[in-house]
Structures are given as structure tokens and as C-alpha cells.
Amino acid sequence: MRTVSDPAMEDDRILVDFKQAYEITKQLDSESGIQGILSLIKEEEPRKSLDLLLTYLRLVHLYCYYCNLMAENNEDMIKKCGNIHLRKQKGMKQDWTLGFDERIKSRVTKISFSDLERTVDTEILKSIIKLEEEKFKCSYCAKLFKAPSFVEKHIVLKHPEVKDSLQEGVLFFNNFLKDTSDVPEPIFGQQFHIRKKY
């Protein structure tokens, strides 16, 4: 079990966390192509709704809001963030909120994933050279065609390595965006102590 700093219990912080968790849930549901629990969420009860959203994010999307981490599976989630994240009681300074909102906003506004088929099709269309009104050329072998659609089919059938390479690049990019193991930036004013071995 892990606990979040005291400011997470303040009413204004609950409201901020609720709005951010709502946006993240909407984004992850959209990326996954599922209709989640957003229709059940009531803005009039932000504390209860926040708890529901955080549990949903953790169980369905394997995303820990307070750590801002996405896990590969349940064991990975427990290893990275513990069994559960709880809010403590009021009383501590607001240092905890420094940088936290920025990390959450970076998740919400993260670069969007590339649609594999659309990106590959767009790149293939870029390799078609228009010579005249009804004269198009394949940039890989200089063969001539009457329409761009014929060149596109030609590239897919006769130059499969081009499509494979494009697909591999898009998958690599999407996997890079999904990578949650990036090291978080240190919060301003936070002190790190390095233990020396003797």
C-alpha cells in the first residue's frame, strides 16, 4: 500500500485530480476502443467519482494516476505502485503538487498514436511521382502508370519491403509512446541524497 501526500485530501485538489483523471480515462478508453464508466460519473460528487475513476484506471487500463505510470500487467502494477494508492489526511505542505500537475498534463496531451494503415497509405502516396495529367511513376522502379491507385497497388505488390518498413516504423513509434518506463523529471526544490559505499 502506498499513500499520497496530504494535499491530495484538500477539496480543491480533489476537484483538480477528478478533472485530470476524467480526461485520462476518456483518452485511454478512446485509445482502447472501449466505452468505459464515464457515463456513470457524477460531477456533483467529485471525491466519490475520483475514487471510482482511479480504481477503474488501475484495474482496466493498468494505469496508476498518482504515479503517472502504465503497467504491462497486474504484477507489474503491484511491483511499480503497490497494491493500492490511498490519500492521507490533511495537514502537509503543498510541495507535493509541484510538478505533479505537469506530469499529468503531459499524459493527457501526449503525442497521439499513429494509425497504422492511414500512416502507411499516406507514406506510400508520397512515393508516387506525377509526370503529366494521366502519367504517374513509381519512385522505386520508375515504372509508369495511368492513375495513382495503380502505382499504389504496384508498390504494395511489387515492393512489399517498402510497406513492411513503413509498418515497422509506425509500430516502433507507437511502442515508444506507450513506454512508461521513462524516468520522471525531478520536482523543483526536491533534494536527492546519494548513499556512498564504503
Name residue, grid cell 485538489. Answer: 13
Residue 121 near residue 108, CB atoms below 8 Å: no
pLDDT per residue over 136-175, tens digit each? 999 989 899 999 999 999 999 999 998 888 888 888 877 7
Query: What grid cell was written down for 153?
Result: 497497388
Q: Domain extents for the chain? A: 2-110, 116-176
Task: List the one residue out of 11, 47, 174, 56 whose CA is nearest residue 64.
Answer: 56
| pLDDT, position 195 | 47
Task: List the one residue out of 36, 11, 32 whose CA is nearest residue 22.
Answer: 36
Task: Say yes or no to pLDDT of 181 above 80.
Answer: no
| pLDDT, position 154 | 93
pLDDT per residue over 33-88, tens digit each? 888 788 788 777 878 888 888 888 888 888 888 888 888 888 888 887 777 767 76
Query: Up-side HSE of residue 16: CA atoms within 13 Å toward CB?
Result: 14
Cβ partners under 8 Å of residue 138, min gap 6: 127, 128, 129, 145, 151, 154, 155, 159
Strands (E), 30-157: 63-64, 69-70, 85-87, 128-132, 135-138, 144-145
